[in-house]
Structure 1
């Protein structure tokens, strides 16, 4: 098997001593009773969820329900799968979650596909014959490893471009295969055409396809089984469960994103296993002259260090409008750039932000803060984000393109006022002026800053938007809805 790239960096599955490839990494997920959601969604919805999931587990008995993506940590897909797996297992489904392996050349190519599916240009490797051959080789090796856990009749959901090359291998083994794409654009262009031209041959034999918006569905899928399933959040996860303001303040002081004050308690929180956790890890990188004062308004964006999230643009807009922001501070927060295996651009984007931060005038730089949160403990990472989103005066998501935007959903659930770009799935979440603010032009930094400063200065309006935001999420974007949609699709493709 030939690979293109640096041989010593390859991490694709290799043949074991018995001639078989090693098994793919499998997530260790503990099941959770779906009825735990009752307090958030109400007993009626929880009852429907519980009954439907248990009936589905009986209908799907003897079949494994498998998810496959490219990373266990970092990004909305991995977080979402962890939660959905928990409730599926708790309802009796034999749910499994595996991640594929790849080398830098593979992930550079799939990140190029990611950008192209968003309709954006990128400077990654060409989608040429050599790239296709390398992609095929990596996917074949992963498929051989995955097939150790897949039996005829199992239902396998493959997530995003990294996994498209597994479809035919799994179908030949007798599995029912769903391919789910979490990215897309409302306005197809030559870049999306190039991405689909590359991916289509790998996807032709899938049993079903899932997209986050109807407008993301390519025309060549007309007449196929296609479902629209929007992402969702778990109100009980470490990132979204209630957190007292005093606890949030102590956590932010511990990680250097709030100045400590007399009376701050220890940075303790309740972990999912019931034990008390303590925030022990500081950000792996932090650009900050000094922490924001405890009483300073905070404008926050939490995102991957991805060019399409436009973290650099947020910082530049803040600098351009610095004098009009009423003493507000800005925090740009993302994951440790070494902690997300399938995103090769994170380090470069963070470096661009850091370089711009150093060039800012002192009066602006002292109010701007960059932080990379540690990924070693996913629950600790999540509770830091929870504290940030609950403490922010305004949460932003100035994305240039967005498949859905779960950071928007998370902030809305916490009742935080949100200013976000009118792109992709964000349009489905925010009703402008009712439960948030939509930016018609994400590149208009002055308009962005004006909306953010307007909410900082008008707490009554900000509060009203926050109330509407929480209601919007409760009705449309909690995990019970997605669990019902997923299990319905499983039964459809399994024909049970």
Structure 2
């Protein structure tokens, strides 16, 4: 059975109809031993050493991870993987999700967009927004404090959890606030959002960012840490699939026509057999066949992922020079609790699709992937990326963009924009192609066309991409960085938190 089981962990009073539910996400322990044959010998020895240290450093402590959703994005996927491996190593790691009403998520989405330098819905970030932002988290904090101890470590993820930092600080537990988003050169919008967050996160023992460029001031240097995200090579989204299974999965999901006569089988996280049975909601005028080359982008329906630019770039600069198709895939709208703009963005993309000339429109497919079963969704993404001739990630802004590392692990050539953490993943011209200007549709299209028309080059780039993903972006190294940070926090004496300098 799919593993997305959650238990209500506590619930405070409800004032003004504001929900205050805290739920524990149950995660199955996984053994890091499976990486022994994946990692080079010297790096595996580092993992073994870390396992030995973790047993003494984290004994009789709970490592709490708190975020706002158990599915539908890279952070949730990463938490499921890392917490599973931590539990497999004997660490009492727990995952809690907090809740809020529609107004709460409107404010957090506004913060998300502003931190990326985008105006989003253009709404304010003032006193009334603070009240909306804080109200559900006060009750969530009460529920968490009932379970936490002063010996524990707490990692609060992203803007949705920031008001919890001061509310939990007096527990005596070490508190880390972990931001997975940011912008290399913050504009006025990004700094406005950071100033809104700073009164909360300045109370953390440490603030963790994916890149040094994302630390925009106001926090003492000694309370900063930098840890890049990772992927799980053995998750359902990244597990090895043979070519026949790829075709069968995509046919069962309705994405491919005339392929995959066998069962659409895969292995679930608990190693029980899974079967793809749900169909993808497709917007298309023609069908995609197995033998047709295809460029693929998989992401949320989010303007920062620039789905409109992907469609326009393909239509204007790929379609005339290649018979390839384009699949633009995302989750079913409404299935991701903390993303209220998905349906609106999808509608914009559909309108752009209808304006394409008929011949091009037949080659562009918009795919809303089923979300009822998170592992079924993950294996469809896996198969899509493996089937792709080229994977795209044309983000306007990006915290890190783990879809890039996922595609690299699958030995796919990737065309992506040189923004955020994407530029840390791809070595331009070696393990992929980076577009300097996210709005340069001509360069975007030319890079895709080059890989489509030069399959030998695409294969070499893909092979180098897989090696880089193995060496830089797998879970064991990520866990080692966290262990080092926890060792540092537990050695330090708690001290008063203060602003380092104005922002």
**TM-score past 0.5 threshold:** yes
Partner of 1:3: none
CA contact (8 A) 2:245 2:264 kept: yes
In the TM superposition, what whole-angstrom CA distance separates every residue of 1:25-58 from its partner, at most 9, and x where no partner exists?
Answer: 1111011111111122145433431331342132
**Structure 1 residues 31-40 or 81-90, which shifts more?**
31-40
CA contact (8 A) 1:34 1:50 kept: no
Partner of 1:165: 163
Q: Which segments of structure 1 move beyond 4 Å, counting only runs of 4 or more?
A: none
1:90 to 84, 88, 91: 88
**Structure 1 residues 141-150 or 347-356, which shifts more?**
141-150
1:278 to 270, 275, 289: 275
Q: 1:86-485 maps to which residues of 2 (within 5 A)?
A: 86-261=84-259, 264-283=261-280, 285-485=281-481
Query: For the residues of structure 1 that align with 2:320 and 2:400, how far apart are their CA atoms?
Result: 30
RMSD across aligned positions (CA): 1.6
CA contact (8 A) 1:13 1:101 kept: no
Partner of 1:27: 25
Query: For the residues of structure 1 that align with 2:92 and 2:287, how far apart are their CA atoms?
Result: 47
CA contact (8 A) 1:412 1:473 kept: yes
CA contact (8 A) 1:256 1:291 kept: no
**Structure 1 residues 355-364 or 392-401, which shifts more?**
355-364
Query: For the residues of structure 2 that align with 1:343 and 1:186, how far apart are their CA atoms?
Result: 23
Q: Normalization by structure 1: what TM-score? A: 0.94
Unpaired segments ≥5 residues, structure 2: 1-9, 493-503
Query: For the residues of structure 1 that align with 2:52 and 2:391, how far apart are their CA atoms?
Result: 38
CA contact (8 A) 1:322 1:364 kept: no
Q: Secondary structure at the match of 2:468?
A: helix
Partner of 1:59: 57
Question: C-alpha displacement at 1:22, in angstroms?
Answer: 7.2
Query: For the residues of structure 1 that align with 2:348 and 2:301, how far apart are their CA atoms?
Result: 10
Unpaired segments ≥5 residues, structure 1: 1-11
Q: Normalization by structure 2: what TM-score? A: 0.92
Q: Secondary structure at the match of 2:335?
A: coil
Number of paired residues?
A: 479
CA contact (8 A) 1:435 1:465 kept: yes
CA contact (8 A) 1:54 1:92 kept: no
Query: For the residues of structure 2 that align with 1:230 and 1:322, how far apart are their CA atoms?
Result: 33
Query: For the residues of structure 1 that align with 2:68 and 2:238, how far apart are their CA atoms?
Result: 24
Query: For the residues of structure 1 that align with 2:363 and 2:250, how far apart are their CA atoms?
Result: 16
